[in-house]
Each structure stands twice: as structure tokens, then as C-alpha cells.
Amino acid sequence: MRINRALRVSVGAIALALTAATAAACGGGDSKSALDNAKEGKLTIGIKFDQPGLGLRNKDGSYSGFDVEVAKYVAGKLGVKTEDITFKEAPSAQRETLIENGQVDYIVATYSISDKRKEKVDFAGPYYIAGQSLLVRADNTSINGPDDLKGKKVCSVKGSTPASNIEKNYPDTQLQTNDTYSLCLEGLKGGSWDAVTTDDIILAGYAAQSAGSFKVVGKPFTTENYGIGLQKGDQELRDKVNDAIETMIADGSWKKAFDDTVGASGYQAPTPPTVVRY
């Protein structure tokens, strides 16, 4: 009897350990799909917290920006009210992990669609087309485009497309990467580096927020298709989000959201993109 009892305890302990290991391997995220959560009337959406005009957590705890408006519109089309959305910060280097682990239902965070990223996540969209540019101090006259970056110190964020582009195509540049663009801005203002690089629409928001301190220089030198990041293989969700983006563009909500957010900096709304279904 003592042997059988001990054996049962051992088997139970092993089963418990295996369960814990399986949960850890799955990332500990919500096992429900985004559409399951939407049916229950709630969604967790990843956005940036430090990009004025796009994704910003305000001092009063509210959120504002074009990405935020896109995220809310899509959620509404999925049947979720704005007040039932939980916004979660999605730093560039953590976006795929947040989606894969089920910590967010989808991400709207200046998320450029790329083949490398599509190995891990799916995308709906694009909902906006941007281009990489440069931000410098207002009194800088030596940098007017990427060809002037040789030997210069340039900051971008870890895991971002702009950082990868500088590293690959401008090897003579001294690239510095940080976790957030706000840290890059602090270093630029203090003279730690000569320029900050990311997409033009993001830089326009920073320039507007710190009027007189910075300026965007040169023409965009890449094309960045912003997509909404989703769990890989969730075709139904991707179709519904694509439908929502198309409707947002068609009914005028897309332009209104842009004018009310990024447009406040003087940046003119471009022609809306065409959603690509694959």
C-alpha cells in the first residue's frame, strides 16, 4: 500500500511538472483566439506608447494617435467597444513575441510588413505607406539625406526595419539602437548622436511635439507598408481585419482619423493604400 501510494504521488508530480512545462512552452498567453475574445466583448491591442500623432500614452492615462484610431475602428468592426479595449505597449523588438505568446490580439504599431516577420506572424493591410527619413537638430546643416551619414552617429530602435536598413546599406554609419524612440530623441537633443532615423510620419510627430528643436531632412529613402500584426494562420481574423481597413478607407473614417492626429502637425494625408490579400 505504501509503495502504491508513493507511486501515485510520483506520477501525479510528474504530470503536474509536464503540465507546467507545456504552459511555459506556450508562453503563458491566453489560449483563446482574438475572435473568441472579441465575441466576449474584449480585446487586448498592442500599440506604441511614445510616438506622438501615432501611438501615445498621454499623461492622464488615455491614448491618442492615428494607430490608436485604426485599432479602435477595427475593434468596433469586430464588435468590441472602445471602453472594452486594453492597450498594451508593443516595443519594436517585442512585437512578434507578444503576438506569438497570445499577450495581444493584434498589433497596430507602425509595424512594417516584411517577409522575415511573416515567418512568425501574419499581417492585414497595409493601412498606411510610410518611408524612412532622418531627424536632426534644428541647427544641423551637415545632414540632408542618407548619403551624408558616413561617419555620423545615428540612433534607431532595436528590432526595427529602419535600424536594419542602416546597418545593411549604410555600413559606414555609427548606428546606436535603443529600446524606444524617446530615448533616441533624448540623445539627439543632448548631442550624443547626430540623427535619429525611422519613418517620416513618426519623425514628423516628434518634430511637431518639440517645435524649434528638430527638423526632418531629405526625402524618404525606403517604402514601409504598415500592417496590423496577427497570430499566424488565423485566416478568418485576417479577412475580417482587412474588411475593416477597407471600410475605414471607403467611409471617410481613415482620412478623418489621420487629419485629427498626424494632420495636427501639418503633415498632409496621402492617398490611402490598397489592402493586399494573400
3-state secondary structure 145-193: CHHHCCCCEEEEECCCHHHHHHHHHCCCCEEEEECCHHHHHHHHHHCCC
> Is residue 35 scored above 50 in pLDDT?
yes
Q: What is the C-alpha separation between 240 and 38, in angstroms, rounded?
A: 12
Evaluate whether 133 touches 139 at the Cβ level (below 8 Å): no
Tens-digit pLDDT profile for residues 48-82: 999 999 999 999 999 999 999 999 999 999 999 99
Q: What is the rounded distance in angstroms from the CA atom of residue 135 to the CA atom of residue 154?
A: 10
Average confidence score pLDDT of the chain: 89
CA distances from 101 to 75, 124, 163 (A): 20, 19, 25
Q: What does the DSSP 8-state code read for residue 141?
A: -
The pLDDT of residue 21 is above 80: no
Do 34-130+225-265 and 132-217 come out as alike in CATH topology? yes
pTM: 0.82
Q: What are the pLDDT digits (tens) for 224-268?
A: 999 999 999 999 999 999 999 999 999 999 999 999 999 887 888
**DSSP state letter for 52:** T
Task: For domain 132-217, give the CATH superfamily.
Answer: Periplasmic binding protein-like II (3.40.190.10)
H helices, E strands: number in the chain:
9, 13
Domain boundaries, the chain: 34-130+225-265, 132-217
Domain 34-130+225-265: top CATH class: alpha beta
**Res 112 pLDDT > 50:** yes
